[in-house]
Each structure stands twice: as C-alpha cells, then as structure tokens.
Amino acid sequence: MHEAAIAAGILEVAGENAAGRPIQKVGLRLGRFTGVVREALEFAFEALTAGTKSEGARLEIEEVPLVVSCPVCKWAGRPAENFCMLCPQCGAAMQIVTGREMEVVWVDVE
C-alpha cells in the first residue's frame, strides 16, 4: 500500500533525527493534494513502530489545504469543487500554491 511506503519514509527521517533514541511523536505537514489517506497513514505508522523501541509513537498530522492561483487573472483561493483546476473567473488552468506538502517538521524523542 502507498501509505505504508510513506510511513516507512517518515520513520526513516524521524529515525535520523532521533539518533538512536526512541521516538515519541512526529509532526508531519500533509497537503490535501497528496492523495494520502490520513487514517491509513496513521495505521501504517502504528504498525511499523509496533514491536520497536518507538512503539506507541504518535504521528501528529497538520493538514495543509489545497490552494491554487490563476496565472492569468491572479485569482487565488481554494478550488470550489473538489480539485477543480480551472479558474472560476476566467477558466484558465490554475497552479497549485499549497497542498502538495509532505514533510516531517519536528520529532519528539525521549
């Protein structure tokens, strides 16, 4: 599953930050447009930490909304319909400003 690979990547980054100490919490910024299912990611994270010294570690997810902007008329905001990428004012294709983020922002260790 997609989320399992992502959770493994998060743990790798967190593990480098923890430098061998047990991880307690990991803060993650997650954009809406990544298509990642939050619950599935939390489940995968829990499954991967079970039985390790970081067992019980929590993933704290900060969701970043999808914000787009129009290069033609400069309209910016959240798309009215789910992931509709056409400008509501002029119909041009819009660019993603935020919503693609997926990064570990902090790691809490014991």
**Contact set with Zn ion (CB under 5 A):** 70, 72-73, 75, 87, 89-90, 92
Least Å from the CB of residue 69 to Zn ion: 9
Least Å from the CB of residue 30 to Zn ion: 28
Q: Toward Zn ion, which CB reaches closer, 26 or 66?
A: 66
Least Å from the CB of residue 98 to Zn ion: 18
Q: Toward Zn ion, which CB reaches closer, 52 or 89?
A: 89
| HEC readout, the chain | CHHHHHHHHHHHHHHHHHCCCCEEEEEEEEEHHHCCCHHHHHHHHHHHHCCCCCCCCEEEEEEECCEEECCCCCCEECCCCCCCCECCCCCCECEEEECCCEEEEEEEEC
